[in-house]
Amino acid sequence: AGGEAAGEALMTLHLKEEEIKSRSLCRRRYLEILDHLSSTSTLAFRVDAAITCSDDEKLASLIMPPGVSSLRSLRDEDDIVTAISTFLQEDLTLARALLLKAEAMGAAMERSVFFARHVFLRSALLLTYDDANRERLELKMINFAFSFARLPHQPPLTHDALWDGSPSSDEDSYLIGVRSLVRVMKRVIAALEDLKEMSEHKPSRLSDFVYGDDRDDSDDS
């Protein structure tokens, strides 16, 4: 309930005066505001959720920056870098593997005739890895309930353009999101490489550099 209240408060900040007075807004404005409540407006993707377990024990929760209550509310690219790094347990091997997967996915999408003929609204990417065998990392497309094929007479999609708000536009910005993920992963790798060089000194976690560390070291995993 607290998260919903915070989301409503943030949404109100983006409303125009006439929208507040009329207590209404069009679907395009509603979607536009939702995008601005997360990193979707700048990266064309957001981090929705994360679960990390080791030996059946849940690991420490992902570090949230001050004033942010959930992953899907992360808007700053630096925070996305930190969240993904934390999810990967600051493992350079995993980060490099994810970068390769994202680059391969983007290249395959650019070549694919099928991809150009389909719209992937509200779909997602699922990232998984096996903590006991970290060579097993996967990045998969999921959630196709709102996906659909373009009609034969319609031109193919580029997937690298923003939706213009018109009924005739089916652009979903999918490639923009994948390319943003590639850029983010390059930043994650660079940060972890720097962290590795400084591993003998405090702070020893990427989140410590970003948010500071006032936690007891006994809480470390």
Domain range summary for the chain, segments of one domain joined by +: 1-37, 39-219
Whether pTM > 0.85 for this model: the answer is no
At residue 128, the 3 state secondary structure works out as strand
The structure tokens listed for 95 are 């980060």
CATH of domain 39-219: 3.30.470.160
- Report phi then psi at 215, rounded to 5: -95, 155
pLDDT at 143 over 90: yes
Q: pLDDT exceeding 90 applies to what percent of the chain?
A: 48
Q: Which amino acid is at 11?
A: M
- Spatial distance between the Cα atoms of 166 and 76, rounded to a whole number of angstroms: 28
Confidence of residue 132 (pLDDT cuts 50, 70, 90): confident
Q: What are the CB-based long-range contacts (under 8 Å, 24+) for 168-171?
A: 170/119
Helix locations, 143-173, DSSP H: none
- Burial (CB count <10 Å: 0-12, 13-18, 19+), residue 58: exposed
Q: pLDDT exceeding 70 applies to what percent of the chain?
A: 77
What does the pLDDT read at residue 216? 46
Lowest mean pLDDT among 22-36, 41-55, 117-131: 22-36
- Burial (CB count <10 Å: 0-12, 13-18, 19+), residue 136: exposed
